[in-house]
Amino acid sequence: DAGVIQSPRHEVTEMGQEVTLRCKPISGHNSLFWYRQTMMRGLELLIYFNNNVPIDDSGMPEDRFSAKMPNASFSTLKIQPSEPRDSAVYFCASSTSSGNTQYFGPGTRLTVL
Amino acid sequence: QKEVEQNSGPLSVPEGAIASLNCTYSDRGSQSFFWYRQYSGKSPELIMFIYSNGDKEDGRFTAQLNKASQYVSLLIRDSQPSDSATYLCAVNSLDSNYQLIWGAGTKLIIKP
């Protein structure tokens, strides 16, 4: 079975550019989570969706961040404009429902110069 | 603010010994408890979960839950160098809308 798929795996961009991260959850999973991980702050939940609907986006740092889930098999996290402090590893995870075991994708390592 | 706390380590354990990792949580309504392992540069992967008080064993791993004292622990028997990683504790509860609340992780080093 395919796990959670994320793309790109690495992204290097310059400050001010738009960045789009993509995620395909495990088929049949109803909940999808976007996390950011840094050495300083650890694993932070940015937003999570249940049945394609955003349930809690209180972790989204600011208006520069937005996330969408147009269907059950695809989600995007967009940063516009990007800033150096956005440099981190961004993980997507999915589960059969909120609170159940979450399965993580390989992550996208973002570097903003 | 619901919290999950772990000692950041590093915890150094000789090969073959038992590694003991601990996690405390603040929400008495917590219902499910998860241990994830994360190798450097990789994503977190589930080791095991526990719902009920007591012990749950899976191979060399044992999770222990004590809801009265609000802690959960992970024991790794016969520690191997390949167990060297960061171990993340996660907890969910009704109050957090069943989201997982994550600890900061404990870095474990198994010395050959």
Q: In B, which residues are within 8 Å of A45 by CB distance?
A: 99-100, 102
Is there a contact between B44 and A106 if contact means CB atoms under 8 Å apart? no
Is residue A32 very low, low, confident or very high in pLDDT (cuts 50, 70, 90)? very high
CB-nearest partner of A105 from B43, B90, B100 = B43
Closest CA to A104 of A46, A35, A48, A54: A35
pLDDT in tens, A41-91: 889 999 999 999 999 898 898 899 999 999 999 999 999 999 999 999 999
pLDDT in tens, B48-100: 999 989 999 999 999 999 999 999 999 999 999 999 999 999 998 766 666 78
**What per-residue confidence (pLDDT) applies to B41?**
94
**What per-residue confidence (pLDDT) applies to A112?**
98
* Per-position DSSP letters for B68-107, written without gaps between them: TTTEEEEEESS--GGG-EEEEEEEEEGGGTTPEEE---EE
Beta strands in B41-84 (DSSP E): 45-50, 54-58, 61-66, 71-76
pLDDT in tens, B13-60: 999 999 999 999 998 888 899 999 999 999 999 999 999 899 999 999
**What per-residue confidence (pLDDT) applies to A97?**
78
Determine the average pLDDT of the residues in A84-113: 94
- Between residues A22 and A99, the one the model is more confident about: A22
Scanning B48-77 for CB atoms below 8 A from A yields 49
**What per-residue confidence (pLDDT) applies to B97?**
67
Residue of B nearest to A90 (CA): B43
Alpha-carbon distance B27 to B30, whole Å? 6
Is there a contact between A42 and B104 if contact means CB atoms under 8 Å apart? yes
